[in-house]
A = this chain, B = another copy of it.
């Protein structure tokens, strides 16, 4: 990136900026191709061709197609890292879970279920990378918000907050991965109603 003290002259191409453009093109290509074809058919060569870069460029930055998809989902899924704190837990969960539901419903995220999570079933390294890079950061943010709510008396004192996170988000994954019904906004409303109030009240 150019700094104010040493501006790059317009005529000289900036290699960092060019690299960043190539990196973004590769992430886009991987997501697009993963949506269009079987994950088994996705190759480094195909991604390079679609991105308009040489295969060596890709291998210099990533060891595997799963690594590219992981970075793509991490970057393009940043919206689901916003965890608001308005002081109203239910409203904040609704906002955050709606972002997740929208991501799950987007064709761009087919690469998440079809590529990464499917591959994770046979490959413990991919499974670990998905948990460490995608799931854990979001679970931690949610637990942080739930901890404040528990301290404020909005939640029962005797519940484990990691278990509550699981109960809230698991139904979204259930529909994404089992293809029973589409993930929707109304599902978010239903989950919150049931999980917060309970089925027996």
Contact = CB atoms under 8 A, between A and B. Distances in A.
Interface stretch (A23-31, A47-55, A79-87, A156-164): A156-164
A118 B127 contact: no
A194 B178 contact: no
Given A163-B190, A194-B164, A201-B156, A121 B180 contact: no
Interface string A108-123: 0000011001111111
Nearest to A177: B177
A66 interface: no
A6 B97 CA distance: 64
A154 to B, nearest CB: 7
Nearest to A173: B174
Interface in A130-188: 130-131, 135, 139, 154-156, 159-160, 163-164, 166-167, 169-171, 173-175, 177-180, 187
Chain A interface category by residue count: 35 or more
Given A121-B118, A194-B195, A199-B196, A173 B169 contact: no
A163 B194 contact: yes
A1 interface: no
Contacts of A199: 155-156, 159, 164, 167, 195-196, 198
A34 B194 CA distance: 37
A122 B131 contact: no
B127 A121 contact: no
15 contacts: A38-B123, A40-B122, A117-B121, A117-B178, A127-B179, A135-B180, A159-B194, A160-B190, A167-B199, A173-B174, A174-B174, A194-B195, A194-B198, A198-B201, A201-B201
